[in-house]
Structure 1
């Protein structure tokens, strides 16, 4: 079935000498993987390898057979061209990290319009703004809402955060209850708009500690979670 859909690139892996296997999150069908034949050698084809950089937003004409095999892209063009996302060194590091997280966490081949819109808008904001040091923490916290395990913040004033239960509580009830400065800083990311993340003032170590906390939270609640390999690159950028 030939479809027209918007899509966000999660990854592109070289296959044989001239082919790419591309994983995309599509607006109409969730995660899809495509085989792009001879794209690394052909200069005259409709498809260019530069279209498939991580988190690029595309408009696709694709052939979806929906048989669990690799699909095919007939046409592609860039939708919402980025100005800084692939040229700014800090944002490029964030792109590598976030694309790896998204590929690990989103696997469903089904429509989720709210999630797609969130990703589209968040990436546009990242491209258009400069104060992005806290973006990945805010992004991952918001993403957990669409993945179904956003923390219960009804008792956010309490001292402890239980990463296994995903809630704030008054007492330390097990070894997964955390307290202290990192929990206070974590609380700063709740109930704010994305424009306000620049007002959260964290040292590099504090930011690292909050990121480690939310990644541990993901490891508890995301089946098949894998620690992102690009985390080391991200930590170097913010160290």
Structure 2
């Protein structure tokens, strides 16, 4: 089957001398992996290695066998040209962190237009805005909505956040956390990227929120692994 779809580059891995195995999150078919032959040596072909930088937004034409094997890309072109995402050192650090989070969080090989549109709009927002200190917190919080474990805010006034149940409660129990970072985390729930950038956080509180969110992902996603780029991200924001 031939598909035409926007797609976001999640990960690429060198294979043999000149090939790449590329993982894309497509609008029409979810997460798919492709074998791109000869791309590391080709200078004049339709497919170039530069197309497959992390989080590049592409328009692809591909052959899908839908048998759980590597698919094949026939054509690809950049759909959205970023202005700052790869040039700004802070944003570049976020690129590697976000791509790892997507790779470690999303497994579905089926259409999910809402999730695709969230990812695409988030990346464009990051590229076009300058106040981005809380972007990774906001992105991860909003991502839980599309993965099925967004926190229940019906009792948001209560002090303890139960990470296993995904809700707030009045007394502590296993997997409950409280403190200044939870008080501040509540401000990220049910609001926009723009509003979240105005939340003032100390370095330690921002770090504590991120640590809590990664544990939250671990509890709700089977096989989830913390991103290797976390240490780089912590250096950027600390």
Give TM-score, length-normalised by structure 2. 0.98
State the partner residue of 1:189: 188
Aligned residues: 238
Q: CA deviation at 1:175?
A: 3.0
What's the C-alpha RMSD, in Å, of the aligned pairs? 0.8
Q: CA deviation at 1:65?
A: 1.0
State the partner residue of 2:62: 62
State the partner residue of 1:211: 210
State the partner residue of 2:21: 21
Q: Which 4+ runs in 1 deviate beyond 4 A?
A: none
Deviation digits for residues 170-216 of structure 1 (CA, Å, limit 9, x no counterpart): 111x2311111011011110121111122101111111011011111
State the partner residue of 1:100: 100
Q: Distance in 2 between matches of 1:190 and 1:107?
A: 25
Mapping for residues 34-53 of structure 1, pairs under 5 Å: 34-53=34-53
Partner of 1:119: helix, strand, or coil?
Answer: helix
Mapping for residues 59-138 of structure 1, pairs under 5 Å: 59-138=59-138
The reply on whether 1:175 has 2:182 as its aligned counterpart is: no
Q: Distance in 2 between matches of 1:176 and 1:70?
A: 39
Q: Which runs of 5+ in 1 are unaligned?
A: none
Partner of 2:35: helix, strand, or coil?
Answer: strand
Deviation digits for residues 73-106 of structure 1 (CA, Å, limit 9, x no counterpart): 1110001111111111111111100100101111
Mapping for residues 139-150 of structure 1, pairs under 5 Å: 139-150=139-150
Q: Distance in 2 between matches of 1:3 and 1:26?
A: 10
Give TM-score, length-normalised by structure 1. 0.98
State the partner residue of 2:157: 157
Q: CA deviation at 1:48?
A: 0.8
Q: Which runs of 5+ in 2 are unaligned?
A: none
Q: CA deviation at 1:33?
A: 0.3
